[in-house]
Amino acid sequence: MLKVSAIQFTPAFLDLENNRRKVKQLIETSIAKYGSKLIVLPELTFSGYNFETQEQVETTAEIIPTSISCKLLETLARDYKVYIISGINERDGEKFYNSAVVFGPDGYITTYRKIQLYNREKEFFQPGDIPLQIFKIQEYRVGLMICFDWFFPEIPRSLALMGADIVCHLMNAVIPDGAYLGDTYHCRWNRFFIILANRIGKERDLEFIGRSSIIDPTGKVLAQASPDREEIISSMINPLLARNKKLNQYNHVLADRRPDFYKLT
């Protein structure tokens, strides 16, 4: 069993220092109030999202895993013996990525770079160049998606084929009836858990829709936040349930695939 949480809040646009203080407070509250062992934060947690210029991206970008924000997450993960996944505006040389970073009780674990960039993100970020991957939390297998990745079913299906028990989905969603609904279907189709951490608030012409969710392998929503309030949602889950891919006596969501018929000719 694993106690998991998603944190929903409003990052202050371009204000790294303020967001670090807020994130520390919210993570410590999640641990103290809910006993969370896996904590998921939204996409671009520290920088905000709706950039107008490349200069804004550059001034808020951070190097993984040595930046101030990363060291904060690492310290919290080590001190409290928890796993923390956060969105971050990543700098790698002269390139910038919309990324997720993972820390655990032993420090830095991995980085994922968003594969499917949405709208004006293409003006500022490079598309992800790191293959999809699975990492372990205790004996449980975990994969990552960032926001618009959900729109491409190849990504969650690939994570399922790689053995994911849990998919952590970091978001800055603005599309009504979007991922928080679509993820229920990804859970049904792939029989894994999803922890969706979205943000709230408004940046210029974008209003973020909240509704962070924890969803089980049948598509049942175990916990869901409001569309417009700062919240921590939490649930106790058994990730091993995701290893039962049977729908009934005859059907198995992965073994029944017939990839020879899915090829283009």
Give catalytic residues, as residue numbers: 43, 114, 147
Largest CA distance in the chain: 57
Helix (H, G, I), strand (E, B), or coil: what is residue 30? helix
Q: At what angle do helices 16-34 and 68-80 cross, to 10 degrees?
A: 10
Sheet containing 213-215, strands listed edge to edge, beginning at the edge strand earlier in sequence: 135-137, 140-146, 166-170, 193-197, 213-215, 221-224
Amino acid at 102: V
2 phi, psi to nearest 5 deg: -145, 130
Contact (CB, 8 A) for 195 and 222: no
Chain centroid to Cα 26, Å, comes to: 16
